[in-house]
Amino acid sequence: MTTNAGATLTGSTPTGTSASGGTLTGTGNLIRLILRRDRFLMPLWVVVFPLVVAGYVTSFSDLFPTPAELQQYADASRGNASFVALYGQLHGSSLGQLVNWRAGFIPVMVGLASLLTVIRHTRTEEEAGRRELLGATVVGRHAGLAAALISTVGANVVMGVLLAALMIGQQLPTAGSTAMGLEFAAAGAIFATVGAVAAQLTESAGSARGIAITVLGAVYLLRVVGDVSEISGGGLGWAAWLSPIGWVQRLSPYQDEQWAWLLPAVLVTALLSWVAVALSARRDIGSGLLAARLGPAEAAPSLSTSLALAWRLHRGLLAGWAAAFAALGVVLGGVANGVGDLVGTNQALKDVFARIGGREGLVDAYLVSIMVILGLITAAYAIQATLRLRTEETAGRAEPVLATAVGRLQWAASHLVFAVLGPAVVLLISGLFAGLTYGASIGDVAGQVPRVIAAAAIQLPAVWVLAALAVALVGLLPRLAAVSWGVLVVCLLIGLVGTAIQLNHWLLDLSPFTHIPHLPGGDVAAMPVVTLLVIAAVFGAAGLAGLRRRDIPTA
Amino acid sequence: MGDAISVSGLVKNFGPTRALDGLDLVVRTGEVHGFLGPNGAGKTTTIRILLGLMRADAGTAMLLGGDPWADATPLHRRLAYVPGDVTLWPSLSGGEVIDLLGRMRGGLDKQRRVDLLRRFDLDPRKKGRAYSKGNRQKVALIAALASDVELLLLDEPTSGLDPLMEAVFREVIGEEVRRGDRTVLLSSHILSEVEALCDRVTIVREGRSVETGSLAELRHLIRVSVHAELAGPANDLAGLPGVHDLQAQGNRVSFDVDAGALDAALRQLSAVGVRTLTSQPPTLEELFLGHYDTTSPKEPKQPNHTEVAR
Predicted ipTM?
A: 0.81
Dist. CA B210–CA B93, nearest whole Å: 42
Cβ atoms of residues A374 and A460 within 8 Å: no
Which of the residues B100, B110, B122, B154 would you substitute to probe the A interface, choosing the one with the greatest number of A C-beta atoms within 10 Å? Answer: B100
**pLDDT tens string A92-107:** 899 999 999 989 989 9
Lowest mean pLDDT among A305-309, A430-434, A488-492, B177-181: B177-181
DSSP state of A478: G
B301 pLDDT higher than 60? no
Q: Does residue B6 come out as left (phi exceeding 0), alpha (psi in the -120 to 50 range) or beta?
A: beta
- Write the CB contacts of B305 (distance below 8 Å, at least 6 apart in sequence): none
Residues of chain A contacting B72 with CB distance shorter than 8 Å: 402, 407-408
Confidence of residue A152 (pLDDT cuts 50, 70, 90): very high
- Write the CB contacts of A363 (distance below 8 Å, at least 6 apart in sequence): A336, A337, A339, A340, A438
- What is the model's pLDDT at position B226? 87
* DSSP code string of A481-505: TTHHHHHHHHHHHIIIIITTTT--H
Residues of chain B contacting A316 with CB distance shorter than 8 Å: 91
A389-428: string of b/e by CB count within 10 Å (b at 16+)? bbebbbebbbbbbbbbbbbbebbbebbbebbbebbbbbbb
Single-letter residue type at B301: K
Residue from the list A295, A401, A554 with its beta carbon closest to the beta carbon of B48: A554
The rounded mean pLDDT for chain B is: 85
Residues of chain B contacting A319 with CB distance shorter than 8 Å: none
Confidence of residue A373 (pLDDT cuts 50, 70, 90): confident
- What is the model's pLDDT at position B257? 85
Confidence of residue A342 (pLDDT cuts 50, 70, 90): low
pTM here is 0.79
Contact yes or no for A396 and B91 at CB 8 A: no
Residues of chain B contacting A403 with CB distance shorter than 8 Å: 51, 53, 76, 79-81, 83, 153
Instruction: Give Dmax (Cα) for chain B.
Output: 67
Dist. CA A473–CA A482, nearest whole Å: 8
* Among A120, A110, A109, residue whose Cα is nearest residue A149: A120
Residues of chain A contacting B54 with CB distance shorter than 8 Å: 551-553
* Among A79, A90, A83, residue whose Cα is nearest residue A231: A79
Smallest CA–CA distance from A550 into chain B, residue: B54
Contact yes or no for A400 and B76 at CB 8 A: no
Percent of chain B residues topping a pLDDT of 70: 89
Q: Pairing state of beta strands B200-205 and B32-36?
A: parallel
Smallest CA–CA distance from A552 into chain B, residue: B53
- What is the model's pLDDT at position B239? 80
**pLDDT tens string A61-90:** 888 889 988 898 888 888 777 778 778 899
B163 by Cβ neighbours in 10 Å (0-12 / 13-18 / 19+) ranks as exposed
Instruction: Give Rg (Cα) of chain A.
Output: 25
Smallest CA–CA distance from A127 into chain B, residue: B129
B106 pLDDT higher than 50? yes
Dist. CA A518–CA B66, nearest whole Å: 55
Lowest mean pLDDT among A46-60, A288-302, A500-514, A530-544: A500-514
A13 pLDDT higher than 60? no
Residue from the list A294, A313, A395 with its beta carbon closest to the beta carbon of B125: A294
Q: Which of A202-211, A334-343, A489-498, B64-73 has the highest mean pLDDT?
A: B64-73
Instruction: Give Rg (Cα) of chain B.
Output: 22
Confidence of residue A355 (pLDDT cuts 50, 70, 90): low
* Among B17, B200, B226, B44, residue whose Cα is nearest residue A552: B44
Cβ atoms of residues A46 and A291 within 8 Å: no
Cβ atoms of residues B77 and B40 within 8 Å: no
Residues A211-237, mean pLDDT to the nearest whole number: 85
Dist. CA A220–CA A161, nearest whole Å: 24
Dist. CA B22–CA B34, nearest whole Å: 19
Confidence of residue B130 (pLDDT cuts 50, 70, 90): confident
A77-108: string of b/e by CB count within 10 Å (b at 16+)? bbebbbbbbbbbbbebbbbbbbbbbbbbebbb
Instruction: Give Dmax (Cα) for chain A.
Output: 72
Residue B20 CA neighbour count, 13 Å, CB half = 28
Cβ count within 10 A of residue A454: 17
* Among B244, B271, B240, residue whose Cα is nearest residue B255: B244
Confidence of residue A437 (pLDDT cuts 50, 70, 90): very high
Dist. CA A430–CA A374, nearest whole Å: 8
The residue length of chain B stands at 310
**pLDDT tens string B208-229:** 998 888 877 776 667 788 889 9
Smallest CA–CA distance from B79 into chain A, residue: A404
Residue A144 CA neighbour count, 13 Å, CB half = 26
- What is the model's pLDDT at position A1? 36
Cβ atoms of residues A120 and A284 within 8 Å: no
Residues of chain A contacting B46 with CB distance shorter than 8 Å: none
The residue length of chain A stands at 555
Confidence of residue A357 (pLDDT cuts 50, 70, 90): low
Handedness of CA A495, A382, A221, A442 (dihedral sign): positive
Angle, CA B92 vertex, CA B91 and CA B93 arms, to 5°: 120
